[in-house]
């Protein structure tokens, strides 16, 4: 081990500038069981001031970075949730580092097919502030995330030692990721401070060596008057999106700041000036100023430059190097008529599912009109059995998300998949129409598709009904909350709430209420109308229970391509769909699936070679019976189930019968739904 620490102390109105360097090559440690923290005064384990035990790491000789040495530390896990190793190196013995220049370097070796992870903590309370997360994938990709948003990416070669550097200028809030000395991307960090690094094998594929860890702190002496630009917050998005920039300004001087001017220009255009007055901004404090003037994202590169000037009416301040902030955005142009579907698998029992609620809400706010969010609940009172079982077959855990039914992702990654899909021209434009009887609460929906590019293969149509602002009483509406207390980092305010969050404090949005005919859709729903310009319509009928708020309902019609991906969608409120007009059908194919009151019925698979399953979603206890008829009207089988409630799966066995069409009559409290079932 080699450690060098030098201190340069200069007191300026209570501010102490401390220069410090540190390095560790692990050569002086004993190769032994996981006790790095017990051998070193600098390293510790998560939640401890020392080390030892399963959360510590061993010094090994299985691999190392330099030929002159022989030792390193090695992390691995076989658990899906990672760990138990969890090793921390503090950068400060006191307050977090938040001024001056900070450079951190560490060498990694990640075997082929394996992953690695570390994070920066912003306070001495572990879990109190996640400054950044660094993920290294089996494909050799490095991703830096800040509060779930990707801010930089890089690449490394699996199976080869490489140097990873994080270089941060806290004064200007300029951060840089470097791999082997080459910059991979710069950003402004939402949490502009550090206290420690945490190495953690985050999943079952984690396996990595670490060697030659070092950091360097160059202190900053505060001038008398200095307003520093800390963050220019303008989010990227779609061309045409309107943005109201927010500017974080920090007092990096010793005198109180009372006023300053901000100016922002876009692509070299005339600056928009905002005069900020009436402040009492103390030394080292921040203020966030949000523009009331808007900026519109345009096609191509958007370069925003923000300048701080005229601090306290005195013109230039004591340090001009931190007066300017620059943000470069490249917004996406959406394909004409395109809407993307985001389906989130969630449940009130799931302690990490608040993350899904937060990111779905952010996406809806940011991309309203271009995204249809759907929360598919599992194991709670909002579960729709047919939807739950369908999405359950495509995910490995909760929370998870599917964007246009691409492969499963974490909800925090929805935006990346959304931006990749919104630019893909749809094969058909979709319009939702409706009629609605406020007395009977019968909602008749038409989903009309107009073909834009020739359809080849088995396209399918699905209609989903969602509801916002859903509340409930009782413990089953309590939301389990792993973010309570802040130990797992901030999460849209859930860190301030209890675990579980009481039902009285919870409102659930985008809740799936119906899916028809089932998760996979109506087979070959275009029929013969596959040529450009042709139109096909399918109609659906739903009876909304009295407990549903019809002003919070959204109708989502979608077209699924032969690979199972959602090609396009449309979303409308009941009022919007009624204004669009209800279409009775073009004759290409009008389905005869109608939901009985307070229930939803579907049959899957359909067609079938032998057996199918009736899926019921009953809003109340109901008498249920099933009768199956052949096309000649003969009764094939029947069964009375008595009273059922909630989500039910009822088997149908057609093994003894000939191939052909059958009619499945499902009677619920005297109301019969007829579904055509084909045996191949």
Q: What pLDDT was estimated at residue 457?
A: 94
The domain over range 599-679 is classified in CATH as 2.60.40.1930? yes
Q: How far apart are CA 613 and CA 653, in angstroms?
A: 9
**Distances from the Cα of 350 to the Cα of 353, 397, 496, 510, angstroms:** 5, 10, 18, 17
**Confidence check: pLDDT of 663 > 90:** no
65 vs 438: CA distance, rounded Å: 72
pLDDT tens digits for 343-401? 999 999 999 999 999 999 999 998 999 999 999 999 999 999 999 999 999 998 899 99
Q: What is the structure's pLDDT at 165?
A: 98
588 pLDDT more than 50? no
State what percent of residues in the chain have pLDDT above 90: 67
Distance CA(342)–CA(370), nearest Å, equals: 11
Q: Is 622 helix (H, G, I), strand (E, B) or coil?
A: strand
**Mean pLDDT to the nearest integer, 427-431:** 97
Q: What is the pLDDT of residue 585?
A: 56
How confident is the model over 28-50, as a mean pLDDT?
A: 88
Q: Helices 414-421 and 354-366 meet at what angle, rounded to 10? A: 40
- pLDDT by residue (tens digit) across 599-643? 567 777 778 888 888 877 666 778 888 888 886 677 888 888 888
∠ Cα 131 133 135 (to 5°):
165
Coil, strand, or helix at residue 354?
A: helix
CATH fold label, 340-580: Immunoglobulin-like (2.60.40)
Tell me how far apart the 2 most distant CA atoms of the chain are, in Å: 97
Q: Do domains 11-218 and 340-580 have the same CATH topology?
A: no
CA–CA separation, 506 vs 478, rounded Å?
7
* Secondary structure (H, E, C), 527-567: CCCCCCCCEEEEEEEEECCCCCCHHHEEEEEEEECCCCCEE
DSSP designation for 576:
H
Q: Choose the CATH number for 227-329 among 3.40.50.300, 3.40.50.1580, 2.60.40.10, 3.40.1390.10.
A: 2.60.40.10
Q: How far, in Å, CA of 554 to CA of 574, rounded?
A: 7
**pLDDT of the residue at 527:** 84
* pLDDT tier at 14, thresholds 50, 70, 90: very low
Residue 4: predicted pLDDT = 46
Alpha carbon distance 405, 376 (integer Å): 13
pLDDT tens digits, one per residue of 210-227: 999 999 999 999 999 999
What count of other Cβ atoms lies within 10 Å of the Cβ of residue 471? 12
**Burial classification of residue 107, based on how many CB atoms lie within 10 Å of its CB (0-12 exposed, 13-18 middle, 19 or more buried):** buried
Q: How confident is the model at residue 1 (pLDDT cuts 50, 70, 90)?
A: very low
Share of the chain above pLDDT 70, in %: 93
The continuous run of DSSP H or E covering 37 comes out as: helix 36-39
Residue 341 in this model has a pLDDT that exceeds 60: yes
* pLDDT bucket at 591, cuts 50 / 70 / 90: very low
Rounded mean pLDDT of 457-472? 96
* Other residues' Cβ atoms within 10 Å of the Cβ of residue 576: 15
> Mean per-residue pLDDT for 574-600?
61
> What residues does each domain of the chain span?
11-218, 227-329, 340-580, 599-679
Predicted local distance difference test score (pLDDT) of residue 523: 84
Read off the pLDDT of residues 98-118 as tens digits, 9 standing for 90 and up: 999 999 999 999 999 999 999
Nearest CA among 670, 187, 148 for reference residue 415: 148
pLDDT category at 19 given cuts 50, 70, 90 is low
Average pLDDT, the chain: 89
The pLDDT score that the predictor gives to residue 356 is 95
Q: Give residue 391's pLDDT.
A: 95
Neighbours of 535 (CB within 10 A): 16
Residue 590 has pLDDT above 60, yes or no: no
Count the alpha carbons within 13 Å of 347 in the hemisphere toward its beta carbon.
Answer: 16
Phi/psi for 415 (5° steps) reads: -60, -40
Q: What is the rounded CA–CA span in Å between residue 371 and residue 29?
A: 54
Count of C-beta atoms within a 10 Å radius of residue 94: 10
- Residue 384's nearest CA partner among 552, 557, 615, 592 is 615
CA gap 19, 497 in Å, rounded: 39
593: pLDDT strictly greater than 70 = no
Contact 629, 636 (CB under 8 A): yes
| Section 299-304 average pLDDT | 96
Rounded mean pLDDT, 256-277: 97
The larger pLDDT score, comparing residue 416 to residue 503, is at: 503
pLDDT of residue 311: 97
> Tell me, what's the pLDDT at 194?
97
CATH class of 11-218: mainly beta
What's the pLDDT at 490?
76
Least reliable range by pLDDT among 111-115, 218-222, 583-587, 647-651: 583-587
Q: What is the dihedral of CA 201, 204, 208, 210, to 10 degrees?
A: 10
Beta strand 340-346 with 371-377 is parallel
User: What is the reported pLDDT for 646?
Assistant: 64
The phi, psi pair for 51, rounded to 5°, reads -160, -155
User: What integer pLDDT is reported at residue 147 of this predicted model?
Assistant: 73
Sequence-ordered alpha helix ranges (H) in 354-485: 354-366, 385-392, 414-421
Task: Provide the whole-model pTM.
Answer: 0.67
Does the pLDDT value for residue 184 go beyond 80?
A: yes
Q: CB atoms < 10 A from the CB of 290, how many?
A: 10
Range 125-131 average pLDDT: 87
């Amino acid at each position: 081990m080699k450690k060098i620490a030098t201190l340069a102390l200069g007191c300026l109105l209570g501010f102490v500038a401390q220069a410090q360097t540190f390095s560790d090559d692990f050569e002086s440690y004993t190769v032994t069981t996981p006790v790095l923290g017990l051998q070193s005064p600098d390293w510790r384990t998560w939640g401890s001031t020392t080390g030892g035990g399963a959360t510590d790491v061993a010094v090994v000789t299985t691999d190392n970075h330099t030929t002159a040495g022989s030792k390193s530390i090695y992390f691995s896990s076989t658990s899906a949730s990672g760990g138990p190793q969890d090793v921390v190196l503090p950068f400060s013995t006191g307050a977090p580092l938040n001024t001056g220049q900070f450079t951190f370097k560490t060498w990694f070796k990640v075997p082929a097919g394996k992953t690695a992870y570390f994070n920066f903590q912003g306070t001495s309370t572990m879990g109190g502030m996640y400054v950044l997360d660094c993920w290294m994938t089996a494909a050799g990709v490095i991703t830096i995330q800040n509060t779930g948003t990707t801010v930089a990416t890089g690449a490394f070669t699996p199976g080869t030692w490489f140097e990873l550097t994080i270089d941060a200028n806290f004064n200007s809030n300029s951060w840089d990721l470097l791999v082997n000395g080459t910059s991979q991307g710069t950003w402004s960090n939402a949490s502009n401070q550090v206290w420690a690094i945490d190495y953690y094998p985050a999943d079952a594929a984690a396996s990595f060596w670490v060697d030659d860890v070092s950091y360097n702190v160059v202190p900053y002496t505060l001038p008398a008057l200095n307003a520093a630009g800390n963050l220019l917050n303008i989010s990227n998005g779609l061309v045409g999106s309107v943005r109201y920039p927010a500017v974080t300004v920090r007092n990096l001087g010793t005198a109180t700041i009372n006023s300053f001017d901000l100016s922002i220009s876009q692509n070299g255009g005339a600056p928009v000036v905002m005069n900020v007055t009436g402040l009492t901004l103390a030394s080292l404090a921040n203020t966030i100023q949000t523009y009331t003037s808007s900026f519109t994202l345009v096609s191509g590169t958007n370069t925003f430059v923000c300048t701080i000037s005229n601090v306290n009416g005195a013109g230039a301040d004591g340090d001009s190097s931190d007066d300017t902030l620059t943000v470069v955005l490249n917004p996406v142009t959406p394909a004409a008529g395109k809407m993307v579907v985001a389906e989130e698998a969630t449940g009130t029992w799931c302690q990490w599912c608040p993350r899904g609620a937060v990111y779905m809400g952010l996406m809806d706010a940011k991309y309203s009109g271009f995204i249809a969010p759907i929360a598919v609940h599992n194991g709670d009172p909002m579960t729709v059995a047919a939807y739950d079982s369908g999405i359950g077959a495509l995910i490995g855990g909760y929370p998870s998300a599917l964007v246009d039914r691409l492969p499963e992702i974490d909800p925090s990654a929805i935006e990346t998949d959304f931006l990749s899909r919104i630019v893909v021209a749809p094969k058909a434009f979709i319009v939702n129409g409706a009629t609605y009887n406020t007395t009977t609460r019968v909602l008749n929906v038409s989903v009309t598709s107009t073909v834009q590019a020739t359809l080849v293969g088995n396209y399918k149509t699905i209609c989903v009904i969602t509801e916002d602002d859903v509340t409930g009483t009782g413990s089953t509406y309590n939301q389990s909350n792993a973010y309570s207390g802040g130990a797992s980092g901030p999460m849209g305010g859930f860190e301030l709430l209890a675990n579980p969050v009481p039902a009285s404090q919870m409102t659930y949005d985008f809740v799936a209420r119906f899916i028809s005919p089932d998760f996979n859709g109506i087979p070959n729903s275009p029929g013969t109308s596959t040529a450009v310009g042709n139109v096909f319509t399918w109609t659906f009928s739903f009876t909304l229970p009295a407990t549903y708020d019809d002003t919070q309902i959204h109708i989502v019609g979608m077209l699924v391509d032969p690979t199972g991906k959602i090609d396009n969608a449309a979303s409308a409120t009941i009022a919007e769909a009624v204004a669009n007009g209800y279409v009775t059908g073009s004759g290409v194919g009008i389905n005869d699936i109608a939901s009985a009151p307070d229930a939803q019925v579907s049959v899957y698979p359909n067609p079938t070679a032998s057996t199918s399953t009736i899926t019921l979603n009953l809003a109340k206890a109901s008498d249920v019976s099933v009768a199956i008829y052949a096309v000649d009207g003969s009764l094939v089988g029947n069964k009375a189930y008595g009273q059922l409630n909630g989500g039910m799966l009822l088997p149908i066995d057609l093994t003894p019968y000939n191939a052909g069409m059958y009619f499945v009559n499902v009677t619920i409290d005297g109301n019969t739904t007829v579904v055509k079932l084909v045996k191949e």
